[in-house]
Copies of this chain bind each other. A is one copy, B any other.
Amino acid sequence: MEKRIRVPEPTIARLATYFRCLADLSDQEVGVVSSEEIAFRAGVKASQVRKDLSYFGEFGVQGLGYPVPRLLDRVASILQLDQQHRVALVGAGNLGTALAGFPGFARWNFHILWIFDSSPAKVGQEINKITVEPTSSLPRSLAADLGILAVPGPAAKDVAQLLVDSGVTALLNFTGAHLHLGSKVSVRNVDLTHELAILAYHARRPDPTPES
């Protein structure tokens, strides 16, 4: 593995977006792409794309654009998407089941290899070829580098600690709970009401009703 470059968080988030755009272009067998085209697909300014990519060395050819396969490989390497990621999922309800079967994960080298649930009705069931294990079997040494929390909010803190004690250093948190797990653990919060609340500001009421 090459030497890691430290990159600011907003750049990382945009690189992840560029990665998907480049993967789509690669699927379409596009050989070269302009910063304007990446920018349009990613929903940012072309100058931002050029700035972000120049951070990692010279990729573009003046007047031609960026070679798609080389840039895709490089972005994947920066994000560590060229490596297999082993994921432990806790929570086998509808959301966990949706995540376990999500087809996009494998393409990005994410493999859910463990599923845990605290409900005896779930334990022993197979979801996407993985047998659900009891959450009470944690903590134990899991060779997982990523964890997904899809449990009810009140259980979030305890379950997160079980995953951290099992060696997981990065958590995707769907519970809506704020987790403070120390500086060695990275957490990304996916808060569905939060996204809807942002949309609510923009929504136009189609049909004003007396009670609103």
Contact = CB atoms under 8 A, between A and B. Distances in A.
Given A94-B98, A98-B98, A186 B199 contact: yes
A46 to B, nearest CB: 16
Nearest to A143: B207
Interface of A: 7, 9, 12-13, 16-17, 19-20, 41, 43, 78-81, 83-85, 87, 93-95, 97-99, 101-102, 104-105, 107-110, 142-146, 167-172, 176, 178, 186, 188, 190-207, 209, 211-212
Main secondary structure of the interface of A (DSSP, over half): mixed
Contacts of A195: 172, 188, 190
A206 B145 contact: yes
Contacts of A99: 192
Nearest to A194: B16
A176 B104 contact: yes
A108 to B, nearest CB: 5
